Amino acid sequence: MSETRRNFLKTATRTTLAVTFAASTGPFVITARAAEPEKKLGFALVGLGGLATNQIAPGLQKTKHCRLAGIVSGTPEKRKKWAAQYNIPEKNIYTYETFDQIKNNPDIDVVYVVLPNAMHGEYTIRAAQAGKHVLCEKPMEVSPEKCQQMVDACKKADRLLAIGYRCQFVPYHLEMMRLGREKPLGPVKLIEASFGFKIGDPTQWRLKHSLAGGGALMDVGIYALQGTRYTTGQEPIEVTAFETKTDPVKFKEVDESIFWTLRFPGGVLANCGTTYNSNGLNRLHANFENGWAQLDPAYSYDGLRGKTSKGQMDFPQVDHFATEMDDFAQCILQGKKSKVSGEEGVRDAKILAAIYESIRSGSKTVKLA
Ligand code: NDP
């Protein structure tokens, strides 16, 4: 067994291994001790904002293999409130200044980074250096270079890294992937994908370039991009993008609305859009040679709906975050790479950078390596 795999398994399966060993000692063992229930992996959330509060913490309560073990927050009132609400001991509560001490805390197996985009890299790297596996929210970071540094740091520390691409665990999206891979409706021909919403508070970090790295594209356009990649199962070879800004004051620092076209090998085109200036774009549509499939709404937390040219899709609604966290816990327990790995985040970051490059160049087509 490799050192990597041994480390991954060390904390999680000690009891199972003990039983196996005892049983294998043969005549000296009369009865094998029953296995204790498998340990749940301890998650620490970094940044107790809207997503952590309304989705991730409630999602954690529904997981099979995870538990909310710790928190990292710069806000004293939140630390107090969360400690009481989730029964978190003082020793598992950190500030951004004390964060590195998490290294000495065996209760924490995974750090889940839920900070503004431009802080993901720093906290992912610090978490890996503290010996923790990392689940990092999307977008992974604000540039391909920063994303690559995160991958390198986790590799160096021998820790797993996954990106919060929750849709990749949802039955409706898994069906789009299946249709693309198994081709029951024939090969994919064309895709339309879009996600946007009308953003409120003009003072929020999402509208500040230094914290967000970009606007609608970085924040929610990335769902449409992901949709095109996992439905085709291919990597795009070039992109052409257009931007419009109807409110240059509010969107002084970041993009408001962007539409872009991706070309895939073999000739598939994907037309994609994103906006911070209106509600309603929330769709993933694929045309196949012999039919079509569509999710709308496609990227909401719940209430997804899907249909194909053959009829309505009928899949259970799942908690996206619970499913994503349980999958990551299983990856750690089994010592296998997540399908939403850091490398997957790097690939998206390169395409996002190419979309911005196309816009800067007056909508010239940009080749993707
Ligand atoms: P919020 O603004 O609601 O929360 C961010 C939290 O980060 C703050 O509450 C604060 O927590 C902490 N923070 C630390 N430094 C700063 C700073 N300088 N400015 C602002 N906040 C700071 O953001 P969200 O929870 O909506 O988003 C967090 C991340 O999650 C983003 O990367 C976003 O893209 C991603 N996201 C993913 C979604 C998904 O569906 N997968 C949906 C929504 C967001 P504290 O007070 O505890 O320090």
pLDDT digits (tens, 9 = 90+) for 297-323: 999 999 999 999 999 999 999 999 999
The question of whether 223 is a catalytic residue gets the answer yes
**What mean pLDDT comes out for the span 94-102?**
98
The question of whether 146 is a catalytic residue gets the answer no
Q: Is the pLDDT of residue 140 over 90?
A: yes
Task: Give the model confidence (pLDDT) of 32-42 as tens digits.
Answer: 344 556 779 99
**What mean pLDDT comes out for the span 259-277?**
97
Helix axes 222-232, 342-360, angle to 10 degrees: 120
Residues pairing with 191 in the sheet = 270, 286
CA of 214 to the centre of ligand 1 (A): 15
Residue 79 CA: nearest ligand 1 atom is: 47
Selected residue with higher pLDDT from 349 and 20: 349
Average pLDDT taken over every residue of the chain? 92
CA of 30 to the centre of ligand 1 (A): 55
**What mean pLDDT comes out for the span 2-14?**
40
Q: Give the model's confidence band at 369: pLDDT under 50 very low, under 70 low, under 90 confident, else very high.
A: confident
The type of residue at 217 is L
Q: Is the pLDDT of residue 12 over 90?
A: no
CB atoms within 10 A of CB 16: 13
Q: Is the pLDDT of residue 16 over 70?
A: no
* Cα–Cα distance, 215 to 226 (Å, whole number): 17
Q: Is the pLDDT of residue 10 over 60?
A: no
Whole-number pLDDT of residue 36: 52
- Residue 84 — φ and ψ, nearest 5°? -70, -45
Selected residue with higher pLDDT from 273 and 2: 273
Whole-number pLDDT of residue 60: 98
Among candidate residues 165, 172, 223, 356, the one labeled active-site is 223
Residue 96, classed as helix, strand or coil, is: coil
CA of 205 to the centre of ligand 1 (A): 9
**What mean pLDDT comes out for the span 331-338?**
97
As for ligand 1, residues whose beta carbon falls within 6 Å of it are 47-52, 73-75, 78, 114-117, 137-138, 164, 166, 205, 211, 219
Q: How far is CA 360 from each of CA 125, 240, 250, 365, rounded to the nearest angstrom?
A: 31, 11, 20, 11
CA of 137 to the centre of ligand 1 (A): 9
Whole-number pLDDT of residue 17: 35
Task: Give the model confidence (pLDDT) of 52-93 as tens digits.
Answer: 999 999 999 999 999 999 999 999 999 999 999 999 999 999
Among candidate residues 94, 123, 138, 146, the one labeled active-site is 138
Residue 299 CA: nearest ligand 1 atom is: 40
Closest protein CA for atom 8 of ligand 1:
49
Percent of the chain with pLDDT over 70: 90
Whole-number pLDDT of residue 27: 31
For the full predicted model, state whether its pTM sits above 0.85.
yes
Task: Give the model confidence (pLDDT) of 221-265 as tens digits.
Answer: 999 999 999 999 999 999 999 999 999 999 999 999 999 999 999
DSSP structural state of residue 64: S
Q: Is the pLDDT of residue 184 over 70?
A: yes
Task: Give the model confidence (pLDDT) of 111-139 as tens digits.
Answer: 999 999 999 999 999 999 999 999 999 99
Pocket test for ligand 1, best of 51, 112, 123, 225 (most atoms within 8 A of CB): 51
Selected residue with higher pLDDT from 10 and 140: 140
Which of 280, 264, 284 is closest to 272 using CA atoms?
284
Selected residue with higher pLDDT from 8 and 145: 145
Whole-number pLDDT of residue 39: 79
Structural tokens at position 110: 């995974």
Q: Is the pLDDT of residue 110 over 50?
A: yes
Whole-number pLDDT of residue 37: 60
Task: Give the model confidence (pLDDT) of 213-222 as tens digits.
Answer: 999 999 999 9
* Cα–Cα distance, 231 to 264 (Å, whole number): 12
